[in-house]
Amino acid sequence: GQFQGLNENYARELLELHTLGVNGGYTQKDIIELAKILTGWGLFRPLQKTSTKDGFYFEEARHDFSNKTFLGHSIKGSGIEEGEEALNILARHPSTAQHISYKLVQNFVSDNPPNSLVQKLAKTFLDSDGNIATVLQTLFQSDEFWQPNVYQTKFKTPYRYIVSVMRVSGTVTNFDSLDGILNQLGM
């Protein structure tokens, strides 16, 4: 029968936002299979937190132990290992490399990322088995990152950052502490 407690929204979010991206090449069936794979995975609520493992727990009684096919890979119903296997499949997928590289270039270089740099980062991502430090090193050493029309457009100086914080917080009455912070930061 149908397993109760399937969280398709969580599976879709994992695929769309954090790994493959919206056009990452997965189907509705992959979403359902991933949701089944992740059954039994959860976090302790703050009042129940009795684990030393950052609140994560795996509850076998709530897991769907059937065999699954996810992104063309056969995954044997085995418990928590299924989720770990699925995460490894996602981490090594070319669409994940593309999606994460796009987001990094968008965040650090330009709202409309140059495709050449996205491709360079995606290759580094796949070649390094998803080592983000190596990917960022490629990004920060790229010509695109240091172009004059791009340089510091995505980073705020301490002055601009504090102005942004002041705008968000609303009324500011004590400027002495802000002035002291800016002086310490050389602004």
Distance (Å, whole) CA 106 – CA 154: 9
- The string of DSSP letters for 9-25 reads HHHHHIIIIISS-TTSS
14 in a structural domain: yes
Share of the chain above pLDDT 90, in %: 59
Mean pLDDT on 20-29: 96
Residue 2 maps to a domain: no
**Structural domain containing residue 25:** 8-91
Residues 98 and 86 in one domain: no
The verdict on residue 1 lying in a domain is: no
User: What DSSP state is assigned to residue 40?
Assistant: T
The 10s digit of each residue's pLDDT in 81-94 is 999 999 999 999 99
Give the residue-averaged pLDDT of 40-59: 69
pLDDT digits (tens, 9 = 90+) for 174-186: 778 878 888 887 8
- On whether both 15 and 75 belong to a single domain, the answer is yes
pLDDT at 50 over 60: no
- Inside any domain, residue 160: yes
Both 14 and 87 in a single domain?
Answer: yes
Domain total of the chain = 3
